[in-house]
């Protein structure tokens, strides 16, 4: 997307942290975009970036078909920071040597920086960094000098001062590198001389302009789930083309208490959108009857969603564009070419085959969850909507272990409502990133009054996260947990035991299925 702001170009060599680098740069108030490493020199000149960052990647730079850039790129008078593979590439193209190490270096390493270098300005000399490599720089190219080392990696960072070319073997973009953010900040402000002219409202305004130009007077259809992502995507499009947008909200009956009604109210009353609500609870529940396997549940919900959507879409007739609220973590967790499928997120790659449309629009596909919230705020969406916790497309179906029935859903909804009410009363609703109850499928013995009970176990889940890629379990105070536990057992028939989930992600995931 063309912005009028300063730009840092991130060139993608296939590493897993590519978007994360761009996002860290945006956090530092400089606009950043990821582009394919094969971008032409002409295009780079046209984009006129303040700096370029080469990402890591799985290739070996000396291989015949390794992704490479022309030597000319280093003579554009644009500062470059090469990370991991990107660093080795810079060395290789400029005449240095990259060779295989005896051992793979993976994880935290103790590093010593030359803090007189602008890249490490204001940092501690001795620190920790995150390494992940088998090859290393064995000989620096002419004009380059060393600016950091570890015990096992002599050339952990290097610079060509005349040309403002920097390379780091480690990953400054991951949180495990202490002061990694400071390194990126130094690159932007000390080396590229950025002024930090970018805020999220610029993204929103530019995106509205881009969408307006792209859509023109054509028709757009949006699958609205009521979650933050699809809401923000819909409001963006609505800002751009108003009533040319029709939203379809498929109520699958797997939502939280009153949620369906709230979604409809918000869209119609607050945003005056064209909205079609489809009440499809029965269809979904009958297709899910007797199904316990998590991936099968997800697939069924995804398929049924597409069917309902298709039927409604047909009533509208052909549209030109289909909007999806896909965000970046959905794309990686559903498996890209290089990463494994953890869970099939049903909002990725499902709808396109069945709806008569010309093009799909995913305005948020490069953003992380917290960035999407900021776009929402920039668009003037009320905090109470923007700050809603993430809610999975398959809804409560993946919070009921085992098969799904209306009774179980109602029970879960009641427990979830109490949990949310108490967390809000305790003033923790803005602090905890996501929290919900899970019907564990375990029954256990209890005693109520003088009676033996044999009832359901509810698990409370609460996690803190920035982008859902990793999460830590939230330390909710005992007395609040105690109150929640008492209320649920007393008020919800069929529950006699509450447990608290104390696993982080990884190794667990946030949802239980
Ligand atoms: P997991 O359980 O994979 O969840 O750690 C990460 C985040 O994604 C949400 N989630 C989904 N969101 N469609 C969605 O739109 C899905 O199929 C889906 N599955 C999980 C989950 O609630 C958490 O915030």
Domain at 95, CATH number: 3.40.50.880
Shortest-distance atom of ligand 1 to CA 513: 2
Does ligand 1 lie within 6 Å of residue 177's CB atom? no
Indicate whether 395 belongs to any domain.
no
**Final residue before a domain boundary, out of 191, 217, 232:** 191
pLDDT given at position 65: 92
Same domain? For 30 and 95 the reply is: yes
Say which CATH number the domain at 476 has: 3.30.300.10
Q: Work out the pLDDT band at 105, boundaries 50, 70, 90.
A: confident
Average pLDDT along the chain: 91
More confident residue, 469 or 221: 221
Average pLDDT on 245-249 reads 94
pLDDT surpasses 50 at 326:
yes
162 with 143: CB under 8 angstroms?
Answer: yes
Same domain, 367 and 450: no
**Whole-number pLDDT of residue 345:** 57
pLDDT at res. 338: 39
Average pLDDT over residues 364-391: 88
- Mean pLDDT lowest for which of 142-151, 168-177, 329-338, 360-369? 329-338
Assess whether 173 carries a catalytic annotation. Answer: yes
Q: Is residue 302 in contact with ligand 1, taking CB distance under 6 Å?
A: no
pLDDT band at 282 (very low <50, low <70, confident <90, very high): very high
Which domain, by its residues, includes 237? 200-386
What would the pLDDT profile of 183-226 be if each residue is shown by its tens digit?
Answer: 999 999 999 999 999 998 899 999 999 999 999 999 999 988 87
Distance 395 CA to ligand 1 centre (A): 9
Residue 256 located in a structural domain: yes
Q: Does 325 sit in the ligand 1 pocket, CB within 6 Å?
A: no
Q: Quick one: DSSP state of residue 148?
A: E
Residue with tokens 């109602």: 410
**Domain stop point among 191, 223, 255:** 191
| Cα–Cα distance list, 375 to 91, 202, 223, 429 (Å) | 39, 9, 19, 21
463-484 average pLDDT score: 92
Per-residue model confidence (pLDDT) at position 360: 87
Please indicate, yes or no, if residue 509 is contained in any of the structural domains.
no
The reported pLDDT for the residue numbered 424 is 96
Q: Based on the domain organization, do 42 and 61 belong to the same domain?
A: yes
CA distance 336 to 340: 7
What proportion of the chain, given as a percentage, has pLDDT over 70? Answer: 95
Q: Count of CB atoms within 10 A of residue 108's CB?
A: 13
Q: Are residues 97 and 169 in the same domain?
A: yes
Q: Which pLDDT score, from 0 to 100, does residue 313 have?
A: 81
On whether both 409 and 380 belong to a single domain, the answer is no
Distances in Å between the alpha carbon of 473 and those of 433, 460, 502? 10, 11, 6
Q: Which atom of ligand 1 is least distant from the CA of 434? A: 24
Q: What is the pLDDT of residues 389-428, one digit of tens each?
A: 888 889 999 999 999 999 999 999 999 999 999 999 999 9
Handedness of CA 115, 117, 122, 128 (dihedral sign): negative
pLDDT at 339 over 50: no
Among protein residues, the one with the nearest Cα to ligand 1's atom 12 is 392
Number of compact structural domains in the chain: 3
Considering the domain boundaries, does residue 320 fall inside one? yes
The packing angle between helices 369-378 and 228-241, to 10°, is 40
What pLDDT score was predicted for residue 79? 98
* Within a domain: 394: no
Contacts of range 180-183, beta carbons closer than 8 Å, 24 or more positions apart? 180/129, 180/130, 181/24, 181/27, 181/28, 182/122, 182/123, 183/119, 183/120, 183/123
Exactly one of 6, 84, 87, 238 is catalytic; name it: 84
| Buried b / exposed e along 420-436 (16+ C-beta atoms within 10 A) | bebbeebebbeebbbbb
Task: Output the residue whose Cα is nearest ligand 1's atom 18.
Answer: 392
Give the pLDDT confidence of 288-300 residue by residue, as tens digits.
999 999 999 999 9
Active site residue 192: no
Alpha-carbon gap, residue 367 to 351, rounded angstroms: 21
Catalytic residue of the set 136, 171, 238, 252: 171
Closest-CA residue to 83 (of 43, 46, 112, 119): 119
Q: Quick check: is 510 in a domain? A: no
Residue nearest to atom 14 of ligand 1 (CA): 392
Regarding whether 187 and 43 lie in a shared domain, the answer is yes
Residue 239, C-beta contacts closer than 8 angstroms, at least 6 positions apart? 208, 379
One domain for residues 238 and 322: yes
Check 6, 33, 105, 173 and give the catalytic one. Answer: 173
Does position 356 have pLDDT exceeding 90, yes or no? no
- Sequence-ordered alpha helix ranges (H) in 349-507: 369-378, 383-386, 406-425, 478-491
pLDDT of 329 > 80? The answer is no
Q: Which atom of ligand 1 is nearest to the CA of 225?
A: 15
Same-domain status, 22 and 64: yes
Q: How far apart are CA 183 and CA 159, in angstroms?
A: 13
Question: Does any ligand 1 atom lie closer than 6 A to the CB of residue 503?
Answer: no
Closest CA to 368 of 327, 421, 331: 327
Q: Which residue has the higher pLDDT, 447 or 468?
A: 447
Find the range with the poorest average confidence among 43-57, 81-95, 458-472: 458-472
44 within 8 A of 8, measured Cβ to Cβ: no
At which residue do the structure tokens 């427990």 appear? 415
Q: Quick one: pLDDT band at residue 352, thresholds 50, 70, 90?
A: low
Residue 343 CB–ligand 1 contact under 6 Å: yes
Q: Residues of 58-67 as b/e, b for ≥16 C-beta within 10 angstroms? A: ebebeeeeeb
In this structure, is residue 358 part of a structural domain?
yes
* CA 258 – CA 395 distance, rounded (Å): 13
In the residue annotation, 171 being an active-site residue is answered as yes
The number of the ligand 1 atom at minimal distance from the alpha carbon of 346 is: 17
Atom of ligand 1 nearest to the CA of 302: 17
Confidence (pTM)? 0.75
Which among 306, 339, 343, 399 is the best mutation to test ligand 1's pocket, defined by most ligand atoms within 8 Å of the CB?
Answer: 343
């Amino acid at each position: 997307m063309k912005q009028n702001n300063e730009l840092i170009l991130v060139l993608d060599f296939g590493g897993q942290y590519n978007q994360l680098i761009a996002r860290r740069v945006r956090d530092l108030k400089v606009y950043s975009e990821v582009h394919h490493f094969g971008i032409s020199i002409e295009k780079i000149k046209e984009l006129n970036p303040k700096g370029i960052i080469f990402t890591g990647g799985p290739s070996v730079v000396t291989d015949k078909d390794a992704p490479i850039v022309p030597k000319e790129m280093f003579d554009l008078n644009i500062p470059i920071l090469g990370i991991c593979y990107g660093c080795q590439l810079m060395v290789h193209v400029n005449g240095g040597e990259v060779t295989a190490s005896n051992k793979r270096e993976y994880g935290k390493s103790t590093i010593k920086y030359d803090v007189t270098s602008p890249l490490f300005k204001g940092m501690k000399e001795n620190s920790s960094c995150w390494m992940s490599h088998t090859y290393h720089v064995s000989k620096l190219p002419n004009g380059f000098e060393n600016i950091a080392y570890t015990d096992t990696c002599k050339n952990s960072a290097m610079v060509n001062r005349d040309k403002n070319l920097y390379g780091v073997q480690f990953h400054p973009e991951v949180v495990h590198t202490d002061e990694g953010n400071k390194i990126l900040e130094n690159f932007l402000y000390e080396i590229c001389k950025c002024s930090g002219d970018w805020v999220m409202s610029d993204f929103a305004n530019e995106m509205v302009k881009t969408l307006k130009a792209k859509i023109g007077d054509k028709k757009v259809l949006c699958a609205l789930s009521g979650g933050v992502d699809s809401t923000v995507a819909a409001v963006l499009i609505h800002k751009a083309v108003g009533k040319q947008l029709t939203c379809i909200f498929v109520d699958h009956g797997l939502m939280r208490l009153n949620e369906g009604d709230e979604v409809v109210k918000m869209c119609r009353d607050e945003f005056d959108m064209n909205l079609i609500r489809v009440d499809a609870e029965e269809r979904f529940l009958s297709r899910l009857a007797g199904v316990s396997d998590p991936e099968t549940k997800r697939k069924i919900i995804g398929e049924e969603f597409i069917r309902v959507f298709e039927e409604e879409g047909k009533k509208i007739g052909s549209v030109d564009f289909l909007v999806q609220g896909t965000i970046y973590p959905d794309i990686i967790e559903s498996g890209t070419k290089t990463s494994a499928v953890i869970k099939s997120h049903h909002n990725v790659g499902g709808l396109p085959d069945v709806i008569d449309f010309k093009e799909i629009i995913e305005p948020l596909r490069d953003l992380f969850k917290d960035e999407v919230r900021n776009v929402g705020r920039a668009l003037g969406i009320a905090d109470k909507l923007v700050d809603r916790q993430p809610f999975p497309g398959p809804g409560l179906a993946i919070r009921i272990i085992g098969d799904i029935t209306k009774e179980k859903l109602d029970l879960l909804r009641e427990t979830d409502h109490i949990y949310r009410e108490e967390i809000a009363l305790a003033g923790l609703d803005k602090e905890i990133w996501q929290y919900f109850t899970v019907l564990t499928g375990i029954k256990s013995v209890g005693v109520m009054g003088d009676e033996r009970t044999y009832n359901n176990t509810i698990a409370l889940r609460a996690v803190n996260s920035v982008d859902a890629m990793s999460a830590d379990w939230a330390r909710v105070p005992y007395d609040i947990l105690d109150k929640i536990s008492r209320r649920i057992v007393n008020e919800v028939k069929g529950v006699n035991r509450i447990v608290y989930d104390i696993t982080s992600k990884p190794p667990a995931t946030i949802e239980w299925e």
